[in-house]
C-alpha cells in the first residue's frame, strides 16, 4: 500500500483533523483517508443538469400560482 507524506500542513488544519478523528473514533491516518475518499468520490455539481431537473419538476406541478391577496393573507396568518 502506498505511503503519502504531507509537508507544510498548517497547524489549524492539523488540529481540526485531529479533533474530527477523535469525534469519529478514528486514528488521524484513518480520518485523513476518510476525508480523501469523500473528496475524490464526490460527484461534480452540474448547474445545467440541476436547472433542467428543477424546470422539469416545476413544469410537472399542477398548482396555480398564488395571488397577491393569498400571499398577504398567508403572511398575516403566520404572524398571528
* Whole-number average pLDDT of the chain: 92
Domain spans, the chain? 11-79
What CA–CA distance (Å, rounded) separates 76 from 70? 10
Rounded mean pLDDT of 57-74? 90
pLDDT of residue 57: 94
Angle in degrees, 0-180, between the axes of helices 28-41 and 11-23, rounded to the nearest 10: 100
Tell me which range, 29-33, 38-42, 64-68, is most confidently predicted by mean pLDDT. Answer: 29-33
Helix (H) or strand (E) holding 67: none
How many CA atoms lie within 13 Å of 65's alpha carbon, on the beta-carbon side? 4
Q: Which of 15, 40, 20, 16 is nearest to 30 (CA)?
A: 20
Model pLDDT for residues 39-65, shown as the tens digit of each residue? 999 788 899 999 999 999 989 988 888
Amino acid at each position: 500500500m502506498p505511503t503519502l507524506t504531507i509537508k507544510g500542513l498548517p497547524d489549524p488544519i492539523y488540529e481540526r483533523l485531529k479533533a474530527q478523528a477523535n469525534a469519529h473514533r478514528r486514528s488521524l491516518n484513518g480520518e485523513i483517508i476518510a476525508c480523501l475518499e469523500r473528496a475524490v468520490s464526490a460527484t461534480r455539481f452540474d448547474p445545467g443538469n440541476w436547472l433542467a431537473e428543477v424546470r422539469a419538476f416545476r413544469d410537472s406541478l399542477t398548482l396555480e400560482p398564488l395571488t397577491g391577496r393569498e400571499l398577504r393573507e398567508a403572511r398575516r396568518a403566520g404572524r398571528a
